[in-house]
Amino acid sequence: DKRNPVTVMGLGPMGQAMVRAWLKKGHPTTVWNRTASRADDLVREGAIRADTVADALAANELVILSLTDYQAMYDILGEASHALAGRVIVNLSSDSPEKTRKAAAWLAERGAQLIAGGVMVPAPLVGQEAAYVFYSGPRRFFEVHQSTLQVIGRADYLGEDHALAQLHYQAQLDIFLTSLSAYLHAAALLRSAGVSAKSFVPYAVDNFNSISSYLAEAAKHLDEGRHPGELANVTMMGATAHHIVEASTEAGIDIGLPAAVKAQYDGAIAAGRGHESWTSLFDVIRNPTA
C-alpha cells in the first residue's frame, strides 16, 4: 500500500522528529531547511532533499512547517509564493492567534490553505503513544490529510477558526509554565530555611495530583457563572495569598508571582465577592479593568 507523501520545512528538533516518524511509517518525505546541512542525516535515513523552497512546495500537496514563529514562514515562502497554489500548509509553529489568522489570509490570497497546529509533546515523544497535536482550519483539508497527520501524534481537530489551535497550545503552556514557576517558587521559599527540594517532592507531587481533581467542578462554576464558596472562599484564600507574599518578602525571594496571585484575590474582594469560591477570580482575570 502506498503511503501519502509529505514535505517538511524546518528541521529543528521537532521537524527532525516528525520526518523520522513519517519515514518509519513509510511515507515518502521531502525535506528543506534554511541551513541545508541540517537535512543531511535525514537524507541518509531516506528523506528526499529539495534544493529550493519552490521544489519543496512542488513535491507534495501536504506541506508541514516546523519553525520558530510565523515570521519565518513569510521569510521562507515569500520568495516562492508562485508555487503555493493548491498546497495545504500545516504550520506547526507557535505564534499568536492574530498572526495565525493573518497567515491564513496571506496563504489564501496565494491559493493555499492553512491548517494551524500545535504539537503538545517534546521532540523525543513525537510519534509516540503520548503525542497529540491540536489542529484548526478548514475541516475539509484537515480530513483529507488526517491519516498522514496521525503518524506524528493523535490529531485533535478543534474547528474552522485558525486561532483555535494556537489558543489551545497556549492555554496548555499557560498552565505548564505557570505551574513550573509556582513549584520553583515554593522550593525557593523552603530553601530559605535550608530545606532540600528532594524532601519536598512527595508533598509537591501530592499537591499537583490533587489539583487535577478540582478541575471538573471548577469548570462547572466557570461555565455556569455561579461560584458557591461554602467550603473555601475568596476571603480565606486571599488571606493565605497575602501570607505567601509576606513569607516570600521575609525570605528575601522574588515576590512577583505570589503578588500577582494576591492581586487577583484583592480584585475579587474589592468587587464584593469575598464569600464566593476561588473560581470567581475568573471574572477578575477576564475583565482586568472592571
Alpha helix ranges (H) inside the chain = 13-24, 40-44, 53-59, 70-77, 97-109, 139-149, 163-191, 197-224, 234-251, 256-270, 281-286
Phi, psi of 145 (to 5 degrees): -110, 5
Considering only 6, 14, 167, 269, the residue that binds ligand NDP (CB under 6 A) is 14
Considering only 54, 80, 123, 187, the residue that binds ligand NDP (CB under 6 A) is 123
Report the residue number, 75 or 246, with the smaller CB distance to ligand NDP: 75
Q: Is residue 34 part of the contact set for ligand NDP (CB under 6 A)?
A: yes
Q: Is residue 63 part of the contact set for ligand NDP (CB under 6 A)?
A: no
Is residue 27 within 8 Å of residue 5, measured between CB atoms? yes
Q: Is residue 12 part of the contact set for ligand NDP (CB under 6 A)?
A: yes
Q: Is residue 209 part of the contact set for ligand NDP (CB under 6 A)?
A: no
Residues paired with 52 in a beta bridge: none
Give the contact letters, 85-104, x = binds to ligand NDP (CB under 6 A), - = no: -------xxx----------
Q: Report how far residue 75's alpha carbon sits from residue 209's, in angstroms, rounded to the nearest whole number.
A: 43
Considering only 119, 165, 241, 244, the residue that binds ligand NDP (CB under 6 A) is 119
Return the residues of window 35-54 that contact ligand NDP according to CB under 6 A. 35, 38
Q: Is residue 79 part of the contact set for ligand NDP (CB under 6 A)?
A: no
* Biggest CA pair distance of the chain: 67
Q: Which three cell numbers stand for residue 10?
A: 524546518
For the CB of residue 57, give the shortest distance to ligand NDP in the complex, in Å. Answer: 14
Is residue 185 within 8 Å of residue 257, measured between CB atoms? yes
Only one of the segments 34-42, 78-86, 144-152, 279-287 lies at the binding site for ligand NDP (rule: CB under 6 A); that segment is: 34-42
Considering only 26, 41, 52, 68, the residue that binds ligand NDP (CB under 6 A) is 68
Only one of the segments 67-75, 130-138, 213-221, 242-250 lies at the binding site for ligand NDP (rule: CB under 6 A); that segment is: 67-75
Report the residue number, 81 or 93, with the smaller CB distance to ligand NDP: 93
Q: Which three cell numbers stand for residue 194?
A: 535550608
Q: Which residue is nearest to ligand NDP (CB)?
A: 12
Q: Report how far residue 218's alpha carbon sits from residue 32's, in angstroms, rounded to the nearest whole number.
A: 46
Phi, psi of 136 (to 5 degrees): -150, 160
Report the residue number, 115 or 268, with the smaller CB distance to ligand NDP: 115
Residue type, 196: S
Q: Report how far residue 239's alpha carbon sits from residue 247's, in angstroms, rounded to the nearest whole number.
A: 12
Sign of the alpha-carbon torsion through 116, 119, 123, 125 = negative
Considering only 40, 75, 143, 254, the residue that binds ligand NDP (CB under 6 A) is 75
Q: Which three cell numbers stand for residue 58?
A: 512542488
Residue count, binding to ligand NDP (CB under 6 A): 22
Q: Is residue 15 part of the contact set for ligand NDP (CB under 6 A)?
A: yes
Angle between helices 197-224 and 163-191 (to 10 degrees): 140
Q: Is residue 5 part of the contact set for ligand NDP (CB under 6 A)?
A: no
Q: Report how far residue 73's alpha carbon sits from residue 87's, in angstroms, rounded to the nearest whole number.
A: 14
Q: Is residue 154 part of the contact set for ligand NDP (CB under 6 A)?
A: no
Give the residues lining the site for ligand NDP (CB under 6 A): 10-15, 33-35, 38, 66-68, 72, 75-76, 92-94, 119, 122-123
